[in-house]
A and B are shown apart, each in its own frame.
Chain A
Amino acid sequence: MSSVLYDTPGPKARTRNILYTVVFLAAFAGALVWVLTTMADKGQLAAEKWSPFVNDGAVWTTFLLPGLAETLKAAALAIVIALPLGALLGVGRLSDHRWIRIPAGAVVELFRAIPVLMLMLFGFALFVQFTDIGPELRPFYAVVAGLVLYNAAVIAEVVRAGIHALPHGQSDAAKALGMRKGQAMTNVLLPQAVSLMLPALVSQLVVILKDTALGGALLGVEDLLSAYQTIPANYGANTIATLVVIAVIYIVVNFALTSFASWLERRLRASKKTSCPDGDITPEEAALLAGPTPAETPAGR
């Protein structure tokens, strides 16, 4: 327990830390007691509101698990379609031809600037007007369409950043070997960039998974989140209990993905043999800091 920000605590500091701990615990416990007593007053802690999740398998087999499957299906479909699209857009933005570079850039910037919910609503309306997709499938298609449009743009930026992060020598060497631009991209740059991008892509999957919940709340997809309406309707107004259970499921799935992303990141970093003292930086932070960070540019080039 040592940090550059504070001295190793001596006897006085230790007592002070214990005091802070007690005060913090008291405040936390106070809040918890308030929440629990208010919930008890409203009858939200009654056993029958929570017991279905333990005793009644039908809650899981009818609502939660099919919902989770729908959520995962939407997320998986979205990433599978968005990945190649995004790669294409990202490579397009790096093109030497202005008539490819500028439209690709415009598309990426436009779809990154528009909230994904609006893209879903727009997709929904498009499906209503121009296709004969049935009303039971339409919400799902709209969610996937919105997610694909938005995330293709985000992935395009990730791809571009990944290729930019490669040392110049890579493309120079490819040129020296007489490769064409396309060959250099597909045989030299992209394969290396993919391993750089992998953690960012996995964390994007978490973003996609969280965004699928929009469909459940606003478009009527029967996903995991939509159970917050169906379960209380069938099991006696246990909204809070349902929300807690749904949240736990989301958190477990996303936490697994986030941990996987940080594990990937650490592994890739270890294999690159660079000395980075801070091992617990998460991919989100890395993505936030992406762009020309002072630490990366001079060393990498």
Chain B
Amino acid sequence: MFDFLHNPQYDVLGAFWTTVQLALWSAAGSLVWGTVLAGMRVSPVPLMRAFGTAYVNVVRNTPLTLLIIACSLGLGQTLGVTLGGGTFDQTGFRLAVLGFAAYTGTFVCEALRSGINTVPPGQAEAARALGLSFFQVLTLVVLPQAFRAVIAPLANVLIALTKNTTVASAIGVAEASLLMKEMIENEADALFAVFAVFAFGFTVLTLPTGLLLGWTAKRMAVKR
């Protein structure tokens, strides 16, 4: 029933490795971009606040599929952005990471912003009383506490991102769902086995992430 796993034509582990790489690079990118966005949304400069709000509202309401396709067709093919990728596959991968980071950054930003709201006002007030600037208040006092409060929501964002990487198959990145599509077509008689393999693969990726980060969230929570 699971004979297809031995077929050298299908590189299941390789496909999942691409999924993991997509998820990790996008997670790193979206964490940085989301933090910058959150910083903009609470900053004293009105224009940056407006930009942050507008960006989050626009990107969050756009289908991810559309964003990824726009990255590939718009940025890649029309504007000629390759992000230093030499081959077609490399460029596709990097553009997909860019799209995922741009999209997931909005969710990181919203999670962080709600985390900032959980930090008692006294913390920021004390920091300001010490004469810290906005940037210092944010990076030295508020954000470290906010991050500890939002590990659990960020874990959910990361899990959603891991699942969202399947959308990269829309621009032909060779990750798990693209392989699954191919295998479903070729191995129609083993449909349930194929689906079970890929479902298992994603469960293996997402469940431990949730458990591990849930445990971390409990450990790291600021005791108040």
Binding site for B on A (CB under 8 A): 1, 3-7, 9, 13, 17, 20-21, 24-25, 28, 35, 38-39, 42, 44, 109-110, 113-118, 121-122, 124-126, 128-129, 206, 209-214, 216-218, 225, 228, 239-240, 243, 246-247, 250-251, 254-255, 258, 278, 281-282, 284-285, 288-289, 291, 294
Contact = CB atoms under 8 A, between A and B. Distances in A.
B64 A4 contact: no
B61 A225 contact: no
B20 interface: no
Given A4-B121, A6-B44, A243-B74, A258 B166 contact: no
Contact of B137 (A5, A116, A216, A218): A5
Contact of B78 (A110, A240, A246, A251): A240
Across the A-B interface, the 7 shortest Cβ-Cβ residue pairs: A213-B63, A254-B61, A288-B153, A115-B163, A6-B134, A210-B63, A213-B65
A17 B45 CA distance: 6
A4 B127 CA distance: 10
B7 interface: no
Contacts of B44: 1, 3, 5-6, 9, 13, 17
Interface in B49-84: 51, 57-58, 60-66, 69-70, 73-74, 77-80
B15 interface: no
B80 A115 contact: no
For the complex, would chain A's binding face be called helix, strand, loop or mixed by DSSP majority? helix
Contact of B45 (A20, A128, A228): A20
Contacts of B153: 288-289
Interface stretch (B26-34, B85-93, B94-102, B109-117): B109-117
A225 B169 contact: no
Contact of A285 (B42, B64, B111): B111
A223 to B, nearest CB: 10
B78 A115 contact: no
B188 A125 contact: yes
Given A122-B191, A213-B65, A258-B60, 9 more contacts: A5-B142, A6-B137, A25-B47, A114-B199, A115-B165, A125-B191, A214-B63, A247-B62, A288-B111
A289 B114 contact: yes
Most B CB within 10 A of own CB, among A3, A44, A116: A3
Contacts of B157: 288
Given A122-B195, A217-B170, A289-B153, A115 B177 contact: yes
A3 B166 contact: no
Interface in B188-209: 188, 191, 195, 198-199, 202-203, 206-207
